A and B are shown apart, each in its own frame.
Chain A
């Protein structure tokens, strides 16, 4: 590794920490008002974090998924909503990087994302599909060089704030529900008619409103590979890893508060072990487990990157699904421990030990792609896939 290569990640994390500090400052207000974390996203832009994953050839920094996951965790400690916006954006960028390379329009678009720090949104959810993003009802209409799409998108996170939306649909009017494509539409190529307002238990700043999307764009903006491949080869891993990294950050901040609570109690009366101390130890073990799962998944992903067969293998899908299930469940246990440790000061808002926002935000983890659906898919694969139970292989 060159010296430059060794120094770059440090500088990158410094940039991320500056954004996280701004995100943390506004996190409570973003949550209470259910508003977009505008300050944090502005800071992401000024620190030029939105284009980091894009290859250097297109003006980005070619940053690895490991470093992006680390940024997600750092931001997650400050503001879950800002971190999740960043994660969702990077998941969309991963689809462009993995499946748009070599396609002229998409390469030029990547340059624009890096240059102009464009924020990418996602519209994979549709009314009537029952939450299965691998099915679409709407179909894209290709008419000569133009494509048109209308979609009842029941959730588009930060739809109002996105500069472009990557949206799924059936590949053509006669296509089967699972024969899908993904298309990039720029903000001036679509209209959004709001149908539902996001007033939710947690993750309130993601502004995941529902819209009727209507777009018209040059047909070359359709990603050249089937969405099934995009979903399996870039979205699945990026989503489960980056979401888990955000969730880990939320749990880590809750843990830091609980630990601070116990330390403060111990300092006041050093002769008596505070009652919550054992729970801190328990939460520490659980937190380490989440971290280890994320690192294992990152290592596995890095090892098969670029190998289409291995990326679409069942073993890989099962491993990524298992990460999502484990991290989404465990963070709730961790934050609940933290709440027991901090007691009423954790339950109340506005104290240094407040955990209500953490707990509410963390509840979204089991639902963003329902764990029951994921377990269902995994159980189907386990009818035929034999899990590798070796320790190191």
Chain B
């Protein structure tokens, strides 16, 4: 299950952030924290692998990965939908 902590862990491993991911709260702007577009793709790939989901095209945008909270929300939704399918 996607929680803020699991996402934070993945972010720490793959986000290549100049700051410690542990210091980010759920609503911190990840782009302001230094998330590059390249790192955001690596983050997406790692999340797909971790939760065995696939991001559909309409969610591959800046907004989806803007905060830990939005990622948790999207991953939770996708997990539900894609396991039901």
A229 and B37 CA atoms in complex are apart in Å by: 12
Size band of the A side of the interface?
Answer: 20 to 34
Q: Does B55 contact A (CB under 8 A)?
A: yes
> Is B74 at the interface (CB under 8 A from chain A)?
no
Complex Cα distance, B44 from A191, in Å, reads 43
Majority DSSP secondary structure for residues of B touching A: loop
Whether A171 sits at the interface, judged by CB under 8 Å, is: yes
A312 part of interface (Cβ distance < 8 Å): yes
A-B contact count (CB 8 A): 61
A383 touches B32 (CB 8 A): no
Does chain A have a CB within 8 A of B80? no
Contact of A384 among B31, B32, B55, B62 (CB under 8 A): B55
Question: How would residues 38 to 81 of chain B score, 1 for a CB under 8 Å from any chain A CB and 0 otherwise?
Answer: 10010011001000000101101111000000000000000000
A163-194 contact mask (Cβ, 8 Å, vs B): 1 or 0: 00000000100011111000000000000000
Instruction: Flag whether B3 is at the interface (Cβ < 8 A).
Output: no
User: Taking CB as reference atom, which chain B residue is nearest A385?
Assistant: B60
Report how far A380 CA is from B16 CA in the complex, Å: 15
A358-393 interface code vs B (CB 8 A; 1 in, 0 out) = 000000000000000000010011011110100000
Q: Given A179-B31, A228-B31, are A312 and B37 also a contact pair (CB < 8 Å)?
A: no
Q: Are B41 and A312 in contact (CB under 8 A)?
A: no
**B21 — which chain A residues lie within 8 A by C-beta?**
none
- The interface residues of chain B lying within 8 Å CB-to-CB of A171 are 32
Across-interface contacts of A385 in B (CB, < 8 A): 57, 60
Asked whether, in the complex, the Cβ of A383 is within 8 Å of the Cβ of B45, the reply is yes
Chain B 12-40 near chain A by CB (<8 Å), digits 1 or 0: 00000111000000000001111111100
Query: Which chain A residues lie closer than 8 Å to B57 at the CB level?
Result: 313-315, 385-386, 388
Report, as a range, how many residues of chain B touch the other chain.
20 to 34
A134 touches B60 (CB 8 A): no
Q: Across the interface, do B41 and A179 meet the contact criterion of CB distance under 8 Å? A: no
Minimum Cβ distance to chain B for residue A379 (Å): 10
A229–B62 touching, CB < 8 Å: yes
Which residues from chain B contact A134 at a C-beta distance below 8 Å? Answer: 36-37
Closest-by-CB residue of B relative to A311 is B61
B interface vs A, CB < 8 Å? 17-19, 31-38, 41, 44-45, 48, 55, 57-58, 60-63
Add 18 more A-B contacts to A309-B63, A312-B63, A384-B48 (CB < 8 A): A134-B36, A171-B32, A176-B18, A176-B19, A176-B32, A178-B31, A178-B35, A178-B36, A179-B33, A179-B34, A229-B62, A312-B62, A313-B58, A313-B60, A315-B60, A380-B37, A384-B60, A388-B57
10 A-B pairs with the lowest CB-CB distances in the bound complex, closest first: A176-B34, A312-B62, A314-B60, A313-B61, A312-B61, A179-B32, A380-B41, A384-B44, A178-B36, A176-B18
Q: What are 17 pairs between A and B in contact, CB < 8 Å? A: A134-B36, A176-B19, A176-B32, A177-B34, A178-B34, A178-B36, A226-B31, A226-B32, A312-B62, A313-B61, A315-B60, A377-B38, A380-B38, A381-B41, A384-B44, A384-B48, A384-B60
